[in-house]
Amino acid sequence: MMRSFLKWTWIEIKLFCREPLAVFFSLLLPLLLFFLFGTLARVEYLNNMVPSLVGMIVATNGLITLPVQVATYREKQILRRFSATPMHPYIVLLGEMITMLAMTLLGFVLLLLVAKFGYDITVAGNIISLMGACCLSTIAFLSLGFIVGGLFTTARTTQIMGMVAFYPMLFLCGTTIPLEAIGEPVRSYIEFLPLTHVVTLHSGIWFGDSWNQHIKEICILLGTSGASFLISAKTFRWE
């Protein structure tokens, strides 16, 4: 079973790399935005921007890339066919999840390398802690992605609904506009959006905070993961 899982995960990684849109939005777009602002803004602003762009990668893979892929498998009856083989469809979904996690971490590492060697930006926090925060955030959004991918019939509808969830958070949760620049009335509402806590957690650890200083964000992301996986287990449709 483990051999089948590893082989399928490797296939998923290759399929991801062959999908131009997935590669562009997950890996290339954050780098292009970073380079763009690098020509326009001061280094201090770029230092604040890296954690925000990581949040964008997390949300893109969780709310758009994963749900569309899952819906495509169901629409083409791939999940149903796997149910007739020794490899359970859950292995397919787990392989997809590991692939999304790996691609998110890759996007994060690429940003770190560009920030370090392109703009001499030094991370004040611990790299291992940052990777852990990235994993926690990604799992939370992938769990939300399974809800989106499991509810709708076609990949096209799933993509639209993923974008409906993605774009408000993109502009309200600190990935494009700094949280400090958002007015207080709106701030009270965006506290209910998980991407706000992803950006807050990454920003804090990026600048040297400890995990103990972000217990609130950690609990919210863990709660999001647990609740979303429970909901998706009840609502997910295999056919």
Counting the structural domains of the chain, the total is 1
Domain that holds residue 45: 2-235
Q: What is the pLDDT of residue 83?
A: 66
| Gyration radius (Cα) of the chain, Å | 18
Q: Are 220 and 197 in contact (CB under 8 A)?
A: yes
Q: What is the pLDDT of residue 220?
A: 94
Chain center to CA of 200:
15
Q: What is the pLDDT along the chain (239 residues), one digit of tens a residue?
A: 677 778 878 888 888 888 888 888 888 888 888 888 777 766 667 778 888 899 999 999 999 999 998 888 888 887 777 666 666 667 777 888 899 999 999 999 999 898 888 888 888 888 899 999 999 999 999 999 999 988 887 888 999 999 999 988 888 887 877 777 777 777 778 888 899 999 999 999 998 888 999 999 999 999 999 999 888 888 777 67
Q: What is the pLDDT of residue 135?
A: 94
Q: Tell me the C-alpha distance between 54 and 195, whole Å.
A: 11
Q: Are 12 and 95 in contact (CB under 8 A)?
A: yes
Q: Tell me the C-alpha distance between 167 and 64, whole Å.
A: 11
Q: What is the pLDDT of residue 95?
A: 84
